[in-house]
């Protein structure tokens, strides 16, 4: 029986992605230092970790560690390249003398080494910000963490610290904001647990409306279900006007806000508001925590988009990332008011109302579970 021919995807040189510009900047810098080793004194702060290529990191580490030869000896004998090769080869498998000579040929002008070094630092800054943004996204989407809010805020603090450190290294210039199109917001999947907690908040806050005065940290846009956010707006509107709050007054307010439909009518609204359990503060904290993680996820995606766009300068990446973090900071401030957690070095906030977990819900309404695709 003849062998059956199965078509397999072919992989050729054309499928290998081209090297980014920083690769050639690294080559030019290392080539300049091989041609004129004393140029290393003109580079400013630069270390092996700034290089994206592992083999380039090993070569620069060797150059930085070895004493430069005298100009006369360097002009007569290839002692410098030989010494760099011997020092770097144990840390860069496959490094050959021919590659070092190729690096020397890749440098247009050794006097331009400081400019090449700035390019290397700029790309390293971009990669580092991208790494921190990825850690923020990872923490915001890992619901297996025992305390995801604390981890997310720690990642955001680390990213903020990094941006502050980088800001002094790169000069500002006109057009400081990146023009990168914002990424599509992550889809907000309404889990049964989230919908149930939002329903319990509405019914419990209707039964105990006095708690709303101390829950100004919660907003309608924090809800995963748009309908429930609208009902919460009805509750807070009644409370702020000093009007009575019960399931009938909330129903009337919902009608005024256009929330009643054929799928969610008066009977469904009354049933949803008639199952209080626990305390409003507890359910409000659960809702706000989800909102905090959602905003952290969106912030991380924005920073990733800025750093992945190679058209953005380091200053634009820093400015855009700081602005994205500012939106997260607004939600963070409300979370700290709700939980009484303040960052180190700041005066403690007045104690927040105690949060007590309520019992498992006895019933939840299935109406109105349509969610927004994005806040």
The pLDDT, as a whole number, for residue 14 is: 54
Q: What is the pLDDT of residues 317-374, one digit of tens each?
A: 999 999 999 999 999 999 999 998 654 443 343 333 333 334 444 434 434 444 443 3
Q: Which CATH architecture has domain 20-108?
A: Orthogonal Bundle (1.10)
Which comes out higher in pLDDT, residue 116 or 143? 116
The pLDDT, as a whole number, for residue 10 is: 60
**pLDDT above 60 (res 233):** yes
Stated length of the chain: 375
Which comes out higher in pLDDT, residue 238 or 171? 238
Q: How far, CA to CA in Å, does 99 sit from each of 95, 105, 110, 206? A: 7, 10, 17, 74
Nearest to 321 by CA among 183, 206, 222, 178: 178
Average pLDDT estimate for 291-317: 95
**pLDDT above 90 (res 143):** no
Residues of the chain with CATH 1.10.860.10: 121-375
The pLDDT, as a whole number, for residue 260 is: 96
Average pLDDT estimate for 285-297: 95
Burial string for 113-128 (b: 16+ CB within 10 Å, else e) reads: beebbbbbbbbbbbeb
The pLDDT, as a whole number, for residue 279 is: 96
Which comes out higher in pLDDT, residue 345 or 121? 121
How would residue 6 be classed by pLDDT, with cut points 50, 70 and 90?
low
Beta bridge partners of 225: 371
**pLDDT above 70 (res 11):** no
Q: What is the pLDDT of residues 253-269, one digit of tens each?
A: 999 999 999 999 999 99
**pLDDT above 50 (res 296):** yes
On average, the pLDDT of the chain sits at: 87
Angle, CA of 150, 330 and 217, to the nearest 5°: 85
Average pLDDT estimate for 81-94: 93
Share of the chain above pLDDT 70, in %: 85
Number of other CB atoms surrounding residue 278 within 10 Å: 19
Identify the CATH class of 121-375. Answer: mainly alpha
- Are residues 223 and 369 in contact, defined by beta-carbon separation less than 8 angstroms? no
The pLDDT, as a whole number, for residue 341 is: 61
What single DSSP character describes residue 246? S
- Are residues 127 and 271 in contact, defined by beta-carbon separation less than 8 angstroms? no
**pLDDT above 90 (res 148):** yes
The pLDDT, as a whole number, for residue 327 is: 92
How would residue 95 be classed by pLDDT, with cut points 50, 70 and 90?
very high
**pLDDT above 70 (res 198):** yes
Average pLDDT estimate for 283-299: 95
């Amino acid at each position: 029986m003849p062998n059956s021919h199965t078509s397999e995807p072919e992989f050729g040189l054309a499928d290998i992605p081209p090297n980014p510009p920083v690769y050639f900047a690294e080559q030019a810098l290392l080539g300049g230092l091989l041609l004129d080793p004393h140029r290393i004194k003109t580079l400013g702060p630069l270390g092996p970790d700034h290089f994206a290529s592992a083999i380039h990191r090993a070569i620069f580490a060797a150059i930085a560690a070895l004493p430069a030869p005298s100009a006369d000896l360097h002009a007569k004998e290839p002692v410098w390249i030989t010494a760099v090769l011997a020092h770097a080869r144990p840390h860069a498998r496959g490094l050959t003398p021919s590659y070092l000579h190729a690096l020397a040929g890749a440098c247009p002008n050794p006097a331009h080494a400081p400019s090449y070094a700035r390019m290397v630092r700029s790309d390293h800054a971009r990669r580092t910000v991208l790494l921190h943004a990825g850690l923020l996204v990872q923490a915001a989407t890992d619901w297996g963490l025992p305390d995801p809010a604390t981890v997310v805020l720690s990642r955001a603090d680390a990213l903020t610290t990094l941006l502050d450190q980088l800001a002094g290294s790169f000069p500002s210039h006109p057009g400081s904001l990146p023009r990168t199109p914002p990424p599509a917001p992550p889809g907000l999947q309404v889990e049964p647990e989230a919908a149930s907690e939002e329903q319990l908040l509405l019914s419990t806050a209707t039964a105990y409306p006095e708690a709303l005065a101390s829950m100004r940290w919660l907003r309608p846009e924090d809800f995963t279900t748009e309908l429930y956010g609208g009902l919460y707006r009805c509750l807070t509107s009644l409370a702020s006007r000093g009007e009575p709050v019960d399931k009938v007054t909330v129903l009337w307010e919902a009608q005024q806000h256009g929330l009643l439909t054929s799928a969610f009518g008066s009977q469904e609204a009354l049933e949803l508001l008639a199952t209080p359990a626990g305390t409003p503060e507890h359910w409000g904290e659960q809702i706000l925590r989800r909102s905090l993680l959602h905003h952290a996820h969106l912030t991380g995606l924005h920073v990733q988009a800025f750093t992945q766009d190679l058209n953005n300068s380091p200053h634009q990446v820093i400015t855009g990332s700081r602005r994205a973090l500012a939106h997260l900071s607004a939600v963070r401030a409300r979370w700290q008011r709700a939980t009484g957690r303040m960052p180190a070095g700041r005066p403690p906030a007045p104690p927040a109302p105690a949060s007590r977990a309520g019992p498992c819900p006895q019933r939840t309404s299935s109406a109105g579970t349509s969610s927004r695709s994005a806040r």
